[in-house]
Amino acid sequence: MTIGFSSRAASTACAFCVAGVLALGSSAAAAPTAADPAQPGAPGEAGSPGAAIPRPALLYRSGTQVRPRRGAPEVPDVSALSWLVSDAESGEVLAASNAHRALPPASTLKTLFALTVLPVLPGELQHRVSPEELTGIGPGSSLVGVAEGHTYRISDLWRGVFLNSGNDAVHVLAHLSGGWDATAGRMQAKARSLGALDTHVRSPDGYDTPGQVSSAYDLTVFGREGLRNPDFARYCATAEAQFPGDGDGSYGIANTNRLLTGADGVEAYPGLIGIKNGYTSNAGNTLVAAARRGGRTLVVTVMNPQAGGGFTVYEEARKLLDWGFAAAGHVDPVGSLDALRARPGPHPRSGPAAASTPPPAPGHGPSMRSTASPAPSDRSVPPTRSAPAAASASAATLRADVGGDGGGWSEAGLVVGAAALGGAAMALVLRLASRGNSGR
């Protein structure tokens, strides 16, 4: 039997199709779209209430990035190749210039070294230094005076790292934490886990090495993270200390961060709480500095000023700190120090730092053997899921919200709804047509 369609049935089908298309088009048009934060009128535009933090891509742009509100102070003119001003508590980046430019870090890389090694080498332990632990120190390295055969408290060695930037102290501590190359690998993993993706570690002490780079963004991440560790915060804020010498004697050492000590004609910055400076012929002068004022803490990084002498890095950091405190409430953030940080997935999984090989027990001194089990490789076979779980996971991959902000109908939902509407319409039309033919 041949089923025919009346003109009324065809018209009804067309009406349903047009209604479905209009519904889909109007929903998609009404859905919010993600705006470029750099464009006028974008959500979180400078000066708007409740400004949102822009996407990480903004800080990858060259040049100075700042989003001033009305009445904001002018960003100071500095000559550094790269710099960044951030709020330590919130992680908001207040302003930056070439934030992700890869540059040699010099001894500011020791911030990452401390973040990686401090947790496994508590200061109260003692260690007798062996000759092999002092081999391989680069020519022209800054030294605190570690001597083979001498017994030191680990805390003494850490003060040698933070105050004198002693590469000899770094070599001994790296040996105790598993060896030079293993420490570099763990530092690299730590950087990735913190979202510091510009950093490539070749020499844990920051000594000029081909391929070793970091960025103002990454170094600020390290400095901010370090302030959360009480030992790190205490060491980096120490201006002067005694270091063990021959026999039972000792000698004084002073922090080379002039913005902290006020040495060599550099005026100490009020409220400065440390962190780390550095210099090599390749990196120039570098500095990560933190200061607290009125209950607010800022972290500033300055890399390789191009004007003035060797102390220009301190004066440019001073200008940026002054600006950061004055700009409170008058600028909207241009990024976040947490934006690239590794986040846990829906299933328990080891991060990059945990996946690194735990440091073996050193051949000399206190045992630092880790009892942690090795993390599974990312290439391991994924766990078997039950059918409901797999279906749920598949559905989750389809929930791409229009506009990307989690509001409104999902694109998948709109498509499925339109398909269901069309299918129902066709079924109704066919049924009406069938009834019409059977009644003839």
Residues classed as catalytic: 107, 110, 165
Q: Where does 268-371 have alpha helices with state H? A: 312-326, 352-355
The set of residues, in sequence order, having a beta carbon less than 8 Å from that of 8 and lying 6+ positions away, is none
CA distance between the termini of the chain: 13
408-430 in b/e burial notation, b at 16+ Cβ within 10 A? beebeebeeebeebbeebeeebe
Q: How far is CA 125 from CA 120, 129, 153, 204, in A?
A: 11, 13, 6, 22
Q: Is 27 exposed, middle or buried (0-12, 13-18, 19+ CB in 10 A)?
A: middle
CB count within 10 Å of CB 391 equals: 11
Residue 127 sits at φ, ψ, to 5 deg, of: -150, 135
d(CA 210, CA 194): 23
Residue 392 sits at φ, ψ, to 5 deg, of: -65, -40
d(CA 184, CA 348): 26
Written as one letter, the residue type at 176 is L
Q: 3-state DSSP call for residue 177?
A: coil
Indicate the length of the chain as a whole number.
Answer: 440
| Contact (Cβ atoms closer than 8 angstroms) between residue 103 and residue 112 | no
d(CA 250, CA 244): 4
Residues paired with 280 in a beta bridge: 284
DSSP 85-108: EEETTT-EEEEEESTT--B--GGG
d(CA 38, CA 41): 9
| Contact (Cβ atoms closer than 8 angstroms) between residue 97 and residue 277 | no
Q: 3-state DSSP call for residue 150?
A: coil
